[in-house]
Each structure stands twice: as C-alpha cells, then as structure tokens.
C-alpha cells in the first residue's frame, strides 16, 4: 500500500481519496480505458459524466469496498458498466479469498463486465439475468455484503437483496440528496440498523450501510 489515489477528470492530483497500491491504480486505469473504449457502443455511463469519470464514478465506487473492508464475498446488483462492482473486484484483486458476483440483465453489458474482470485480472463472476431470478436460484455460497449504485429506491433494493441479507449479508447503497425520504419510506416495511456516511466526492450524497435487515410483519 502507500500510494495515494488522487483523482480528477484527467487523472491528475487534486484530492486524496485514500491509499491504494500501485497495482490497484494500474488496474483502475485499465478499467477506465475500457469504459471509454466501449462507451460509444454501450453507453456504460451518462455521456455528460465522461469528463469526470475518475471522480463521479471511480472515486465514488471506491467507497463501496471501503465501507466493509472485511467483506470477502460481494454481490453487486444491477451492475451496469461495473460501478461499483468492477471497482470492488479491483480493490480485492490481490486477496485470493475474495470474489465479487455481479448481476446484470443486459447481455452486452454483461459481456463488457467479463472483459473488464479479465483485463484487470480481478476475481469475479458475471451472472447475466434478472436480479430476482439469479438471487432466487443462488447456489454460489454465502455472501458477506451486497452493493448497488444508482439502481432503485431503497425499499426495492431491500426486496432485491433480501435473499442475501436474510442470511446475514450486510448492504451498502449509494444514495443522493433525497436519501432521507427513501429511508423514511423503507422504514415502514423494513427493520434495519443503518450507518450514514457522507460521500467523499459529494457532500450532498450518502453511503448508507445496513445490517440486520428484516421485513416488518404485515
């Protein structure tokens, strides 16, 4: 460890987001290059955010694994272009016991995710299918943590991740400035313990860390 990842739209130093190894930084650069190469055909990220890919997407996604650094086995639901699933896999690439499962229903994006894992030398499995179907038929062992970014409301995320959280998995979800409304709405249907962390890239956004999630009786 010991190399600080300092990121802006051009990859030049502007702010310290945390220490990562040189190998990890190299893997992140490979991944960013792949995203930009596939972007015209796949629309992996919003075109308006391309100039800020290092801050808006990479640095934001680094927070996922940092939220539960002890977690070895992850499930990232609705992985899209791989933020945060591929980034989590890259951060864990040097841990032989770690593995990231990514669930993505779009076949072309699933193909990109497999390419990203292969090219960055990261350990992961891409499950090409609907989240509900993949989770219902899960046969891949226990899961430590579930993640999602820019996917759905908190209430729906709890539903989608329930097959994993009911077995004890924790969850971390990226949420924007309207996070409190979503928390209040989800509280009507779910019990949970929550830790709220301010995003390192946007003070209006939050990383919401959940444990002991359970459905309230009707």
Q: How confident is the model at residue 217 (pLDDT cuts 50, 70, 90)?
A: confident
Q: How confident is the model at residue 149 (pLDDT cuts 50, 70, 90)?
A: very high
- pTM comes to 0.91
Average the pLDDT over 160-183 and give the result.
96
pLDDT for res 17: 54
Q: Tokens at residue 194, please?
A: 């929550």
pLDDT of 139 strictly over 70: yes
- Beta pairing partners, 125: 101
pLDDT for res 99: 98
Which domains are seen in the chain, by residue range? 3-215 (3.40.50.150)
Percent of the chain with pLDDT over 70: 91
**Residue 41, CA distances (Å) to 20, 45, 53, 188 in order:** 31, 11, 17, 41
Which tens digits make up the pLDDT trace of 156-167? 999 999 999 999
Which tens digits make up the pLDDT trace of 10-24? 444 334 556 688 899
């Amino acid at each position: 460890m010991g190399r600080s990842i300092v990121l802006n739209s051009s990859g030049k130093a502007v702010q310290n987001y945390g220490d990562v190894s040189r190998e990890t930084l190299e893997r992140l650069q490979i991944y960013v290059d792949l995203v930009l190469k596939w972007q015209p055909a796949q629309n992996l990220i919003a075109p308006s955010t391309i100039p800020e890919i290092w801050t808006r997407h990479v640095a934001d996604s680094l927070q996922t694994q940092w939220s539960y650094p002890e977690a070895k086995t992850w499930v990232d639901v609705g992985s899209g272009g791989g933020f945060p699933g591929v980034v989590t896999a890259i951060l864990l690439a040097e841990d032989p016991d770690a593995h990231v499962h990514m669930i993505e229903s779009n076949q072309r994006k699933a193909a990109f995710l497999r390419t990203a894992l292969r090219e960055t030398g990261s350990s992961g499995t891409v499950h090409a299918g609907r989240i509900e179907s993949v989770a219902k038929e899960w046969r891949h062992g226990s899961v430590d943590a579930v993640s999602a970014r820019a996917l759905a409301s908190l209430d729906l995320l709890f539903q989608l991740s329930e097959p994993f959280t009911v077995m004890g998995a924790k969850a971390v979800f990226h949420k924007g400035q309207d996070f409190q409304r979503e928390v209040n709405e989800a509280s009507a249907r779910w019990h949970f313990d929550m830790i709220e962390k301010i995003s390192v890239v946007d003070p209006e956004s939050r990383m919401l860390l959940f444990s002991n999630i359970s459905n309230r009786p009707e």
